[in-house]
Chains A and B, each alone.
Chain A
Amino acid sequence: MENYVIAMTVSACIYALMALGLNVIWGLAGMINLGAVGFFAIGAYITALTTLKLGWPIAAGVVAGMAGAAMVGAGVALLTGRLRGDYLAIVTLGLAETIRVVASNAIWLTNGTDGISGIAGPMRGSLSPTQFNLLYLGVVGAIVAVAYVLAERLAHSPFGRVLRAIRDDEQVAAVAGKYVMGFKIRAFAIGAGALGLAGALYAHYTSYIAPDIFVPLLTLYIKLALLAGGLGNNRGALIGAFVVVFFLESTRFVIPLVPGLSAVQGAALREFLIALLLLVLLRYNPGGLVPERLPRIALPEPRSTLTEERRA
């Protein structure tokens, strides 16, 4: 039981990291990313392959996974930067699907749908499962704490302000002399990097990855976390991730209690409820549990009558 609770807390932390990353892309910069799971998969596969096949240390593999996801993210943003966001939606979704297709079929590299097993975890061999879980919880918790502080600093820095300006009105930001494209690329790369980091941490925790894990539903979970917690603010992202994991796990226990459902029907009902919840939150709860708070700046009193006239 305690192992289960620890494991769920670890996965909530991994979700929280993803939510923080997606928050930079979606919440701050207002860019769409329908393929969050793709960047998660990139991080997971890069670290699994570099540590297993090239014998890199775990930390190096994790950093490589994060960097790889960030680079792909920058490329995606660069490619679609000048176009309407529709194309970014299509490309990100397509990227996630293509990664899954390639991972399922490049058997020489990824072992196909059988997946990669035996990914090293820090000191997994010399600890009991509970000790390992606790150690990993400590590591992931520390990383999430650092990521949260960084995300907060980012959100309140001039950089974060420009991102919010781009989100609210791209043209105004451009007129104010901001190079919108550059900001978008950096925001997307930072967010994708966090998603990749989460994927890498996931791979070393479970020691097994396969294409089936990286389904589009995972992207919905993260969106759900952000919407539940409050889009555009980092505390909301953290809270939302825990709320979503709690919700997902409780449906796992509640649905089998419904009489007369087969296993497939139960799974279908669960996914249906998740999609429904996302639709409901998207429509009725735009603020989330912790709505985004923007610092209020007192406007200076108008000095001349000229501005008064203009306002009238």
Chain B
Amino acid sequence: MPPIFFEVAQLVVNGIMTGTILAVPAIGLTAIYAVLRFPNFAVASHATIGAFAGYVANVQLGLPVLPSVVLAFLAAGVVGMAADELVLKPYRAAGFITTAIASIALTIALENLVRFGFGNELRGYDLPLLRDWRFAGIRVGPQQLQNLAIAVAAMAALFAFLAFTRTGKAMRAVADNPMLAAIKGINADVVARLVSFVGMGLAGLGGMLIGLDTTIDPLTGFRAILSVFAAAVVGGLGSIPGAVIGALTVGVGEELCLLFLSPDYRSAVGFTAILLVLTLRPRGILGQRAF
């Protein structure tokens, strides 16, 4: 087989890896959008918070990666729920423009709290050095595979939660038709708190997964936000399966562009994907059904 085949196959594999990790914060964003109906740019700072919470657990407390990842989810989720309840909630009555701007201000405020505590330097997690595995000429890192497994497990848990539990069904009901859900006695405030917890928790988990691949600093979340939004928009803003498909599309697209672009332009690829989708199919691949 020609070498270009292996090169493309390697890029597709890498793209699926990055796409699966990207899907985690993208689901968080899209779930919040589905219930609260505004693009929450604070996903960026919560990814950073998750990454640093995981760093504290993994490096400073010496915990292994798996419990650190859980802590990253919990920390970002708790901060997300508190921030939504205390900061963002009052803006929602004023419309989504005000809320979106408030979420940008919130993300800069939180990011700077992290910067205040940890400084600007790049930090890495405490990971064992492992040799890459090779399958038929395609390289895969064991750490990447573990990240992939964590991302898939998180997504499976979320889908099970939404499909089978009463609370999950309540969340979908509010996303689908808030008025009808209210008539059926679902407390919209509780659902809002819950979706902020789960959504921002996933953002934090995603931030840590991104950090496990590279390094972290206070801008980790903001750098990823364009790809996260691209994933959500490509899949259909407000659709959770859409976020997964969108993330895989953006992930593979970003990698395949390496064939003819320098890797520095990676985040421009996400933006191009947003423009393409808005031109050709504004509702995204799956449209806006929440689940």
Contact = CB atoms under 8 A, between A and B. Distances in A.
B109 A272 contact: yes
A241 interface: no
B279 A264 contact: no
Interface string B181-212: 00000000000000000000000000000000
A179 interface: no
A272 B270 CA distance: 28
Label chain B's interface by main secondary structure: helix
Label chain A's interface by main secondary structure: helix
Interface of B: 33, 38-39, 41, 87, 90-91, 94, 96-98, 100-102, 104-106, 108-109, 112-113, 115-116, 119-120, 222, 225-226, 229-230, 233, 237, 262, 264-265, 267-268, 270-271, 274-275, 278-279, 282
A145 interface: no
Q: Output the residue of A79, A86, A219, A278 with the most chain B CB within 10 A.
A: A86
A217 interface: yes
Interface residues of A, number: 45
Contact of B116 (A80, A97, A265, A283): A265
Contact of B98 (A84, A102, A264, A282): A282
Contacts of B226: 93-94, 97-98
Given A82-B282, A279-B109, 15 more contacts: A30-B97, A34-B100, A91-B278, A94-B226, A95-B271, A216-B108, A217-B108, A219-B104, A262-B119, A268-B113, A271-B115, A275-B112, A276-B109, A278-B102, A286-B94
A138 interface: no
A55 interface: no
A147 B226 CA distance: 33
B260 to A, nearest CB: 14
Given A79-B279, A272-B112, A216 B104 contact: yes
Interface of A: 26, 30, 32, 34, 79-80, 82-87, 89-91, 93-95, 97-98, 101-102, 104-105, 216-217, 219-220, 223, 262, 264-265, 267-269, 271-272, 274-276, 278-279, 282-283, 286
Contact of B108 (A84, A93, A264, A271): A271
Contacts of A268: 112-113, 115-116
Nearest to A100: B267
A80 B274 CA distance: 11
Contacts of A104: 264
A240 B230 CA distance: 34
Contacts of B104: 34, 93, 216, 219-220
Q: Output the residue of B120, B230, B275 with the most chain A CB within 10 A.
A: B275
B264 A282 contact: no
A168 B226 CA distance: 30
B233 to A, nearest CB: 6
A232 to B, nearest CB: 13
Contacts of A274: 108
B237 A86 contact: yes
